[in-house]
Structure 1
Amino acid sequence: MKKLFVVSGIFFLVAVSCKDAAEGKSEENEQAEAIFPKGQKGPSEFFTGNAYPYGLVAMDSVYTTLAGNVYFEPGARSHWHSHPPGQILIVTGGVGYHQIEGQAKETIKKGDVVQCPPNTKHWHGASKDEGMSHIYIIPNTEKGVVNWMEAVTDEQYLNN
């Protein structure tokens, strides 16, 4: 009986491992897909849902550029905001949305590059069903970095 229990346990572990490997869901694969550390959860005064910003290039007077990564869990998004010098987003994983005030919401996915013009009110975040990560680049930081505004409502977020 003990031998049967051990054999059954080994069979179960092998079956689960093979299933995860076939689906590409091993812990090593998940780690390999993440380019940067997750970071700390962003504050609710700037994000709705769970968003994790992580700084990559600190602001200084030599490069005058700020860069980082943000991982958004499904449904998470930034609040409306603008950047005096503008912003560039490079989507590194998943599917999300970007919207400039007064324009239609755009779907963005891994490999997309988004340019947010200077002083333009916009938001970005994950789709409702899938997380999204992007690198943000803010050039010419001597002009300022970010002006945070109100939260994106559920109606705005879900609107096509």
Structure 2
Amino acid sequence: MHITRNRPDTLRGPAENFTGTVWLDEIAAPDAPSRLRMFTVHFAPGARTAWHRHPHGQVLHVTEGEGLVQREGGPVEPIRAGDTVWIEPGESHWHGAGPRTFMTHLAVVEAAADGTTTEWGDLVDTHDCAAA
């Protein structure tokens, strides 16, 4: 058993991967052989990820506020506190806060054998979000 009492500093989401103000807190990244990675992600109103995918999928659990999620080719879906979203391995998607409220979610992924967790794509077009 290992209890983590000192967490890494909160990091701002980099502009090449996020639109708007996003803050990331690493919750868990155990040593190998575990490949689990867990973060709390805080989105300001209107903030969102770029399009991206995960080699082993992703679980999002919304803890506060209201947000949006979309998989490539699908409709923009509302999500709110208490909702859990499973994103399939390799499925291109984005997620973030709705236009009026902050949104916080837990994000859980499993790293690939080379340690990567995310393949980033283009930023989401603002017009597409506004249409939602």
Measured on the aligned residues, the alpha-carbon RMSD in Å equals: 1.9
Q: Is 1:108 matched up with 2:79?
A: yes
Overall identity of the aligned pairs, in %:
35
SS at match of 1:125: strand
Deviation at 1:124, TM superposition (A): 0.2
In 2 relative to 1, CA 50–140 (structure 1 residues): closer, same or farther, beyond 3 Å?
closer
Letter in 2 for 1:68: F
Gaps of 5+ in 2: 1-6
Q: 1:80 aligns with which of 38, 51, 54?
A: 51
Give the distance between the partners of 2:35 and 2:102, measured in 1 at CA: 30
Alignment TM-score, normalising by the size of structure 1: 0.73
Structure 1 unaligned runs (5+)?
A: 1-35
Aligned residues: 125
129, 144, 148: which one aligns with 2:100: 129
> More strand by proportion, 1 or 2?
2
Structure 1 residue aligned with 2:23: 52
Give the C-alpha shift of residue 37 in structure 1. Answer: 9.8
Per the alignment, residue 91 of structure 1 pairs with 62
Structure with the higher helix share, 1 or 2: 1
Q: 1:118 aligns with which of 89, 95, 103?
A: 89
- 1:18 corresponds to: none
Q: Note closer, same or farther for the CA distance 1:75–1:133 as it changes in structure 2 (3 Å cut).
A: same
Moved over 4 A (4+): none
Aligned partner of 1:117: which letter? E
Structure 2 residue identity aligned to 1:110: A
What TM-score does the superposition give when structure 2 sets the normalisation length?
0.88
